[in-house]
Amino acid sequence: MINLAATANRVLVTGGAGFIGSAVCRYLVGESQVEVLNVDKLTYAANLQSLASIAKNPRYRFVQADIADHGKISALLRDFKPDAIFHLAAETHVDRSIDCAAPFMQTNVIGTYTMLDAVGAYWHELQSGRRHQFRFLLVSTDEVYGSLGKQDRAFNEQTPYDPSSPYAASKAAADHLASAWHRTYGLPVIISNCSNNFGPYQFPEKLIPLSILNAMDGLPVRVYGNGQNVRDWLFVEDHAQALVQIMRQGKPGEKYNVGARNERSNLSVVELICDLIDELRPTSAKRRSLITFVTDRPGHDFRYAIDPSKVERELAWCPRETFEAALRRTVCWYLENPSWWQPLRQNIYSGERLGIV
């Protein structure tokens, strides 16, 4: 059981019906005694079924709201009186940002500004003890740093920002806003930048869940370009634990890069998924035969890699799962939980290619 009592009794999570946000909510409710308010707009990638295991817990509450609605956010802050905020609400899919960048600017930039402005006013009115203990954690991405070459060193907290996609640019803007609110107004902001997350409950437009479901259904398993683009993979449950540790022990004004040192090419990840499904649901044809190379994503970053030394050294965090064990858990979860993903495939996203210029 984790102890957040020293810093927080009430925690507000934005985007808590999303992939990472729901993992944070489940972890907080399951492993601590804090009260959790989940604020989510419920856009296409949000799913309240991801929170079914905690939905009836008296320490958990959900409110549907847009983080860009200043009046609503201010009212929720006054009503709930949080001691800490995990700000995860965001549009996150690069391909969708290529198709239409406007929602990314509205949520990731304007939404983050609205949160900072409303939270700043709320924080300013707190009594001195609670003001001192209060924290605002902005959860960001390694994509703000741009692309690495094969021989480049991994991203660290001093790496200059160089975003390539509209999504990455919108998250970079959010990071800069949060940093400015700390420097100008003193708001106790912490920023975390994570590598690619994967695990159960991930909306099936991202590489790993899309590859799992297509391989299960005997459909083409698409790989961009030649499949040699490299990502650093982080199991979502490990990430949730890292975020709670950052909230507990991180220092306002600091940045923490969170990664698991799991660099893999996209092709190698997809091949491992195919092999796992062959093992768990064997058929006469090998799933690797479904792998199909398609035209590369515009502006596709070649490699991401996180150096998590700071969070390991200063906050004593390290991932609990190996990549292989976590991927097996993920594949098994999708095999065993069609009631979660089938409605999404049928009604929201059937697996079509996105982000074509």
Give 211-253 as a 3 state SS string: HHHHHHHCCCEEEECCCCCEEEEEEHHHHHHHHHHHHHHCCCC
For this structure, is 142 an active site residue? yes
pTM: 0.96
Q: Residue 143: its pLDDT value, please? A: 97
Query: Per the domain annotation, does 288 fall within a domain?
Result: no
Percent of the chain having pLDDT more than 70?
98
Average pLDDT on 96-118 reads 97
Query: Per the domain annotation, does 218 fall within a domain?
Result: no
Query: Per the domain annotation, does 40 fall within a domain?
Result: yes
Query: What is the tally of structural domains in the chain?
Result: 1
The residue type found at 113 is Y
CB 297 within 8 A of CB 285: no
Q: Of 83, 143, 238, 321, which residue is the catalytic one?
A: 143
Q: Of 60, 122, 145, 167, which residue is the catalytic one?
A: 167
Q: Residue 289: its pLDDT value, please? A: 98
Q: Which range marks the domain in which residue 99 is found?
A: 10-202+233-262+304-321
Average pLDDT on 273-284 reads 97
Report the mean per-residue pLDDT for the chain: 96
Residue-wise pLDDT tens digits, 298-340: 999 999 999 999 999 999 999 999 999 999 999 999 999 999 9
Tokens (6 digits) for 186: 């003193």
Q: Residue 8: its pLDDT value, please? A: 72
Q: Residue 3: its pLDDT value, please? A: 65
Query: Per the domain annotation, does 143 fall within a domain?
Result: yes
DSSP helix/strand/coil, 183: helix
For this structure, is 238 an active site residue? no
**Which CATH number do you get for residue 137?**
3.40.50.720
Percent of the chain having pLDDT more than 90?
96
The DSSP bridge partners found for residue 40 are: 64
For this structure, is 143 an active site residue? yes
Q: Of 35, 66, 91, 142, which residue is the catalytic one?
A: 142
pLDDT of residue 6 exceeding 60:
no
Query: If pLDDT is split at 50, 70 and 90, which confidence band does 356 have?
Result: confident
pLDDT of residue 283 exceeding 90:
yes
Query: Per the domain annotation, does 155 fall within a domain?
Result: yes
